[in-house]
Chain A
Amino acid sequence: MGYAIGVDVGGTFTDVVLRTPTGTLTAAKCLSTHDDPIAGIASGVTRVLAGVDPAQVSRVVHATTLATNAVLERKGARVAFVTTLGFRSVIPLGRYARVEEDRYDLRFTPPPPPVAAADCFEVVERVSARGTVLTPLDPDSVRRVAARITARGITSAAVCLLHSYACPEHERQVAAILRESIPNVVISSEIWPEIREYERATTTIMSAYVGPLMASYLSRLSARLAELGVRAPIHVMESSGGVISAELAARRAVSTIESGPAAGVLAAAGTGAGDVISFDMGGTTAKVCVVRDGRPEITREFHVGGKGSFGGRRAGTGVPIKTPAIDLAEIGAGGGSIAWLDAAGALRVGPRSAGSSPGPACYALGGREPTVTDANLVLGYLSSATIPLSPSLAARALDRLAGPLGVTPAEAAHAVHEIVSASMASAVHVVTVQRGIDPRGFTLVAFGGAGPMHAARVAERFGISRVLVPAHSGVASAAGLLTGALSTERVISRLDAADPDALFDELARTAAADLGLPLTTPGLELTRSADVRFHGQSHDLTVPWSPVREELASRFSTKYTQVYGITQQSTIEVVAYRLRLTLPPPSLTLPSPSAGAARRGTAEVGATRTARTGVTPAAKEARTGVTPTAKETSTTTRAAYFGGAYVEVPVHTRDTLERLHGPAVIEDPESTIVVPPSWTATLDEARAVHLIRESAP
C-alpha cells in the first residue's frame, strides 16, 4: 500500500495527516481558508508531502464541513420542491417543536422553511400505501412545472412523491422530464426511500441544496491536488463514519453533513480502548459520542440547523435528515463561551462565544467579557503558549462576575469551570444514561483544544475512572479519517415484506453501484438489519436482521429493554430493511502513534523523538518554520486552583511525564491536561496519557 492522506477542515484549522506505508504519521496544521477551503488544504498537503513523491499517495480521505456550513449559513442552491397534487403546502407548514423558552414567546415565528412556498410545485399523480397507482402520472403537469421552475431561474430540484418508497416509478418519470431542462434533479426514492414523507422530503431537499456546491468543490479540489501531483481518488467521510467516493458524495451530499464530527469519533474509536466515550471540546462546540466494541452508535434521524438543548440536538427544531449519522450529542459550549450574569444574578455560561475575534479577554485582542478560557487561565490550568495569554486581562474580565456575586475572581473562575463541566456532562448524559447505558465502565477519550482540561472533572461526575488523551490529540480527526472504511447503507420501507431476501439483494445491488464496486469484490462485508416495532406502536428500533422470526423478536425485545428500560410483550412487525456494504481499508492497523503529531503552540513544533517519527528534517522545516525547542529536562511548577485554594503544582510535558499524582498539569501543544487531586497520570508506549482515578467510588 502507498501513502494515505487525511484532510480535516475545521472552523479554525485545517489538519492534514500523511501516513507512510510503514504506518508513521506526519501532520500539518494550517489556518483554514474559509472562503475557499482548497487553499488551506493545498498548503497542508504540500507541507506533509515534503520529500515524498506525490504519485505514491494512493488514497486521500477528506472530512468536510462544506455541507454543514451551507446549511447553517443558508448558502446552498435555491431548490424547487416537486410533490404530489394537494401537498405543496406541507414543506412551508413544516413540523417543528417549540422547546423551552419558545413556548412562552408570543412573538415566536417559525424558522423559515427549507423551500419557500412559491418554489413548491405539484404534479398530477397518486400512489397508494401499497404502491399501486391510484392516479397515473400526467406528464404534461410535469412539463408545466418544469417550465415554471426554469422561468424562476432555479437549477436544482428535489422530487418527493407520496409513497414513492413503495413505488418509485412516478418519481423516475418526473426526474426524466425535469432533467430535460433542469441541471440538478434529486429524487427521494434514490436518496432515501423510507416511509414518512416529511422527513424523506427534507432529506431530499437538503441533498439538492448542498449537492451542486459539493460537486463543484470536489471537482476543484481534485484538480488542485492533481496539480500537486496527487492523483489518488478522493474519498469523503460520511456522517456515519464510512467513506464514499467523491462522485457519490456529490450525488448524495446530504450524507456528508456530519462528516467532520464523525472523523473525530473514529479517532476515539481507534485508540483501541474498547468501550469509550469520545469527548471532543473545541472553541465553540463540544461533541460527545459513545463507542462500544470499537463501533460508534448510529442514529437514523438527526436535525440540522436547529437548537441545541441540554446536550442534544433537539428533535423538531431543525430540518430532519434521515440518512445514518454517528449518534453524537453536540453542545454549544467550548473554550470561547462567554460567562455572564442573568437578571436575577445567576451565573450562566454561553451560548454566546467570543469566537476567534475578539477572542477571550486574555488574548488581548480587545475582548473584555470573561470566557471559559479566561477562567481556566485564572485557575492556573492554562499558560501562555505560542499565543501569549494575559493573566491580568483574564482576571479583570472575571472581576465582572466576581464583584456582583460577592466572591473572589478565583471562585468565580472555578464556578465557570464547573458550570461548563456540567454542560459537558449533560452531553455525556444524553448519549449514555439517557439511552440506558451505564457510563462507569467506559474510558473517556478527550481531545480538541479544551477537552483534556475538563475531562477528568466530567469523568468524576459519572464515576468514570479512566481518561485517555491520545498522542495526536491535536489532529485526532484527521488521523481518524485514515481508519474509515469504504461503506454505505441503503434502506427501503416495506411492512413485513413477503420476500426479504429479494429486497436485501436489491439493496445490495444499489449499494454496490453507489460504491462503484462489483458485489464479488473480495473482503466486501454485507450487514443486514431491520427496523422493527411492536404492532400498534409508532416508534421502531433498528436491530440486526434474522430470517427467524423468534430470533428477530428476541433481538428487538433486548434492544427495547436496553433503550427504554421497560419490557413489553407483543407481536412485532418489520417496517424497513437496511443493508450496509463495507470494504475495510487495506490495513486495519491503527496509525502507529508518533510524536510527529505532537506540536507546541498553534504552529506545531516537530517531534522531539525523531527516531520514532519517520518525519524527515525537510518535512519538519516545511511544516513549521519553527526550530524545535530542546527537550525539557526539568519540570516547572505553577499555582493552580484545586480544592478551593491555589497550590503549587508540577507542570509536565509528555516528554517529562512518567507517572505522577494529581494535582498537576501536563502541557500539550494546543491543550493542557488537568490532573486533579486523586487522579494519576501515566504515559503509554503510544504516547497517550492515561488518567486513572485512584479511589474510584
Chain B
Amino acid sequence: MNDALTAEVLRNALVVAAEEAGIVVVRSAYSTFIVEGSDASAAILDAGGRLIAHSMATTLMNSMALKVALPELVKDIPLATMRPGAVYVLNDAYRGGVHTNDLLVYRPVFTMGTPAYFAATMIHVSDLGGLSAGGMAPLATDVYLEGLQLPPVRLATADGLEPAVEAILRANSRTPDKVMGDVRALIAGTAVAATRIDALVREYGETGLKAGIDAYLDYTETRTRAALATLPPGRHQASYPIDDDGMNPDKPHHIRVSITLDTGQGGPAGAGRVVVDFAGTDPQVPAAINASASQSLAAAVFAVRCFLDPTIPMNDGCLRAIDVRLPPGSLLDARSPYPCGGRYVPIYAAIEAVFQALSDAVPERAIAASGILQPFSIASVAAPYWIHLAYDFGGVGARPGLDGPDATGVHFGVGRNSVPQVEPVEGRCPLVVESIETIPDSGGPGRHRGGLGSRTVYRFLADCHVTTRGDRLRLAPPGRDGGLPGRLGGFFKRRLDGSIERLASKVNNVRFAAGEAFIVETTGGGGIGPPQERDPALIEADLEAGRVTSRGAAEDYGLPAPHAQIKSPGSKLTE
C-alpha cells in the first residue's frame, strides 16, 4: 500500500492506542478534577520528542506539555540508560510541565534495544501540596507555594515503584493514598499504550512503522499548509486583557499578538505558513497568572487550528507549519520561580487575542469573545479532607449567522459541558445545590447573540473553605461588529441574613459558615452585529425559551411589544 493508504490505517491504530491509555487513566484514577472534566491525557511520542497521536478527549494543552517535556527528560536521563519496564515522571513547569499538580508520566518503548517511542500520560492528581487542598493556589506568589516540584526522575522499574519517590509523593500530599492511586493509574495507562505500540512494531516492522509515522506526519503537514494557504495573506494584530493578578484588583495585564499569514507564493503550491508572535505581551508577574511555554504553545496552535479544516489530525506535522514565538520572561513563558498554576488565565487571553486577529483576517469565520471557565474548589477546613473541585463555563461568543452556545467551553474544546451532577456531589460533600440555571439576558446582545452564562448555588451544611480562580469577571468579553459584550459573572457569598457579597475573582480559602451559600455566575459571550438587526423571530424564540426576559427584549433589542414577564426560575439573587 502506498503511504497515503497506510496513513489512514495507522492513524486509527495510533489514536486508539492513546485513547485506550486515556480511558484507563480516567477510569482508574482518584483525582476529582478528572472525573467530570477532562484534565487527563495520553499521547504517543517518538524518542525525538515528536507528538505522533493523542487521546481524543485530550486538550491540546496536556499533550503539548508531554511533547515539550520529553526532550527535557531525555536530557537528564539519557536514552541509553533507560531499561524496559522503567517509567519516568516530572512536573517541572519550566521544563515543559504545566503546574505542580499535573504529573507527566513516560514509558519508553524499545526497538532494537533502544527507546524509540514513548507512551505518556498525565492528569491533575488529587493533591500534591500547595496553598489549598486539590491544587488551586490562586494567590501564590512563587512556585514554592504551589506544591511539590519534581524534576525528571525514575518513578518505577520493571520491579515496581521506586520507594524513595513514593515516599516523597506521599509526604507532600494531603491525600497520600489517593495520589498514589492516581500514580498507579498513570503508570497503567502508559503500559496499555506501550503494549499497543509494541504490537504495531511487530505488525509493520521497525522501519515500516517509522516510515508509516513519517508519512502520517508529512501528510498532516501537507494538509495544514494547504489549509493555511487558503487564508488571505497579511499581518493582523490584536490584544486581550486579563482582569487582574489577584493581588492588585484594578490593574489589568495584556497579551498581545501579531499574526502573519503567508500563502507560500513563490514556494511549492499549498506551502502556506503562519507566524504567531506574542511580542509586546506584558512581563511575568509574581502572581498565578503566568503560563509555562508548553501551555502557551498549545494555546497558539489551538487557536490557529480553529481557522483551518477541523478534520486535520493533531500531531507534529501540524506543528511544523505553525511558527509560535513567545517572549522569554513574559506572561506566556514564565521562568522560575514565577508561578504557573493559573496558566489557563493568560493562555485563554492568548487564544482570544489570536481569535480576534484571525477574525479580522477571515470575517466570515469570526467569533466574538467568550466567557471562560471559572474553576473553584470547596473543601473542608481541616483534615480529614473532602474536596469538590469543579469548573463552570461561561457563554461562547456569537458567530456570523449563529448564536453562541450557552455555558459551555469553546476554548480547547475542553470537552464535556460539566454541569455538575447534583446527586453524587450531595452524597459526597456536606452541601445542598439549590439551583443550576442559565442566566436570562446574560448573552451579549447582537444580530446574533452571545451564549448565556450560568448560575449555580451551593448552600453549605458545614463550615468550609472556598477557593476561586476567575477571569473576565471585571472586563466583559466584547462583542464584534456592533454586538454588545456579555454580562459579567462573578463569585458571591450569600450570608445567613440573605445579603450577598461579591468575592474577588481570585480568592484563596475564604471561610464559609454552615448555612451560607456560594454562588457561581459565569460570564456571557459577546454578541455579533448590531442588536437592532436581530430577526424578531429569534427574539421571540429566546423569550419562549427564557433566554431573554421581556425587559431584556425591550432594553437590549428595542422590542416594543408588551410581552408578559417570562418568569425566570429561581430567585434573581444577584441582579
A interface list, Cβ under 8 A from B: 85-90, 92-110, 116-118, 122, 126, 128-129, 134, 162-163, 165, 195-198, 309-310, 316, 342-348, 405-407, 415, 418-419, 422-423, 426, 429, 433-434, 495, 534, 536-539, 560, 563-566, 568, 570
Contacts and interface: CB of A to CB of B under 8 A. Distances in A.
A316 B57 CA distance: 10
Nearest to B196: A433
B423 A568 contact: no
A428 B413 CA distance: 28
Nearest to B542: A117
A534 B27 CA distance: 11
B507 interface: no
Nearest to A102: B413
A248 B427 CA distance: 32
Contact of A426 (B12, B178, B365, B409): B12
A418 B6 CA distance: 10
Given A104-B308, A564-B24, A93 B423 contact: no
B143 to A, nearest CB: 28
A95 B419 contact: yes
A102 B409 CA distance: 12
Contact of B413 (A103, A118, A128, A195): A103
Contacts of A106: 306-307, 355, 365, 367, 399, 410
17 contacts: A86-B435, A86-B457, A92-B406, A93-B454, A95-B419, A97-B415, A101-B310, A104-B302, A107-B365, A118-B546, A162-B422, A195-B423, A343-B227, A415-B1, A534-B181, A565-B188, A566-B24
Contacts of A534: 30, 181
A96 B310 CA distance: 18
Contacts of A495: 427
Contact of B20 (A90, A343, A433): A433
Nearest to B26: A539
B23 A434 contact: yes
Interface string B395-418: 000010010011111101111111
A433 B16 CA distance: 10
A418 B306 contact: no
B306 A86 contact: no
Given A90-B419, A565-B24, A118 B545 contact: yes
B570 interface: yes
Nearest to A493: B423
Contact of B8 (A98, A309, A348): A348
B407 to A, nearest CB: 6
A419 B8 CA distance: 8
B545 A110 contact: no
Given A87-B435, A92-B438, A348-B8, A566 B188 contact: yes
Given A93-B407, A195-B424, 8 more contacts: A88-B437, A97-B415, A110-B417, A117-B546, A196-B423, A342-B223, A344-B222, A536-B30
Interface in B434-466: 434-438, 454, 457
A168 to B, nearest CB: 14
B544 A310 contact: no
B4 A346 contact: yes
Given A92-B545, A344-B219, A419-B5, A310 B16 contact: yes
Given A86-B569, A566-B185, A107 B12 contact: no
B15 interface: yes
Contacts of B390: none
A309 B56 contact: yes
A343 B309 contact: yes
A109 B8 contact: no
Interface in B138-196: 177-178, 181, 184-185, 187-188, 191-192, 196
Chain B contact-residue range equals 35 or more
Contacts of B433: 86
B311 interface: yes
Interface string B423-434: 110110000111
B537 interface: no
Given A118-B544, A196-B423, A422 B310 contact: no
B27 A539 contact: yes
Contacts of B24: 564-566
B547 interface: yes
B552 to A, nearest CB: 15
B421 interface: yes
B5 A418 contact: yes
A563 B23 CA distance: 10
Contact of B9 (A88, A94, A97, A422): A422
Contact of B406 (A88, A93, A309): A93
Interface in B300-324: 302, 305-312
Given A110-B405, A163-B423, A423 B12 contact: yes
Interface of B: 1-2, 4-5, 7-9, 12, 15-16, 19-20, 23-24, 27-30, 32, 35, 38, 56-57, 177-178, 181, 184-185, 187-188, 191-192, 196, 219, 222-223, 226-227, 302, 305-312, 355, 365, 367, 399, 402, 405-410, 412-419, 421-424, 426-427, 432-438, 454, 457, 544-547, 569-570
B90 to A, nearest CB: 21
Nearest to B188: A566
Contact of A347 (B5, B16, B226, B545): B5
A95 to B, nearest CB: 5
Nearest to A346: B4
Contacts of A102: 310, 413
Contacts of A101: 310-311
Contact of B35 (A87, A162, A345, A538): A538
Given A107-B399, A129-B427, A422-B12, A86 B415 contact: no
A87 B311 CA distance: 36
B327 to A, nearest CB: 26
Contacts of B454: 89, 93
B423 A129 contact: yes
B413 A426 contact: no
Given A93-B438, A97-B416, A564-B27, A197 B306 contact: no
B560 to A, nearest CB: 22
Given A86-B569, A104-B308, A568-B184, A346 B7 contact: yes
B422 A570 contact: no
A195 B427 contact: yes
A162 B433 CA distance: 10
B27 A197 contact: no
Given A117-B545, A128-B432, A566-B188, A87 B12 contact: no
Given A95-B418, A118-B546, A419-B8, A564 B435 contact: no
Nearest to B36: A538
Contact of B4 (A100, A345, A426): A345
A102 B355 CA distance: 17
Contact of A405 (B4, B16, B367): B4
Nearest to A314: B56
B303 to A, nearest CB: 9
Contact of A419 (B9, B188, B365): B9
Nearest to B34: A538
Nearest to B359: A106
The 3 A-B residue pairs with the shortest CB-CB distance, nearest first, are A103-B413, A86-B435, A566-B188
Given A104-B302, A564-B27, A95 B416 contact: yes
Nearest to A425: B12
A401 to B, nearest CB: 10
A555 to B, nearest CB: 17
